[in-house]
Amino acid sequence: MSISSFLAFHRFEFPKYEHLATKTCFEFESLAANIPGTRNKNLFLRDKKGHRHVLVVVQPTLEIDLDQLSTILGIKRLGFASTERLRQYLGVESGSVSVLSLIHDQLNSVELVIDQKIWNADFIQAHPLINTETVVIPKAELKRFLAATGHQPTVLEIPGVLTHTREVINQA
């Protein structure tokens, strides 16, 4: 099912903003400064043996401590998943990953971990499976979207270091 069909079927309507293609948070920040909502970074990780897969949603300026996160989640050695796994489990290319990618995880093979600061925001930004568009999702609709996909988020303070102190949470 396409993202537009899924959203229409479940009666989701999010404001959509078109922009040039971006593959990194840095590129996106310079192109989409006027888009409301909380910016975030989405990382697709896997355990050492490739049995567990985790989508981690954090502040764009946070460098995650993967060793600490592995310990917190009880996973042996988290690392970045391959492009092939990204396509297989979330149906997207690098640079287009977002919570909306979970529509392709129909077997609930992917665990969702969201940083507390992102979860506390009133609105978050997300690519609708393409890196030339961004939608703004209200918190209540994010919860409803996750329920529709069968995903229960683990919300925690993700360990890591902020790379700069610029405020990343914007309210719509």
Q: Can you give the pLDDT at residue 160?
A: 93
Q: Is 149 exposed, middle or buried (0-12, 13-18, 19+ CB in 10 A)?
A: buried
Q: Can you give the pLDDT at residue 171?
A: 41
Question: What are the strands of the beta sheet with 16-18, ordered from one edge?
Answer: 16-18, 133-138, 123-126
Low-confidence ranges of the chain (pLDDT < 70): 30-33, 164-172
Q: Can you give the pLDDT at residue 103?
A: 97
Q: Can you give the pLDDT at residue 32?
A: 66
Q: Can you give the pLDDT at residue 20?
A: 80
Question: 């899924």: which residue's tokens?
Answer: 6
Q: Can you give the pLDDT at residue 41?
A: 94
Distance CA 19, CA 35 (A): 10
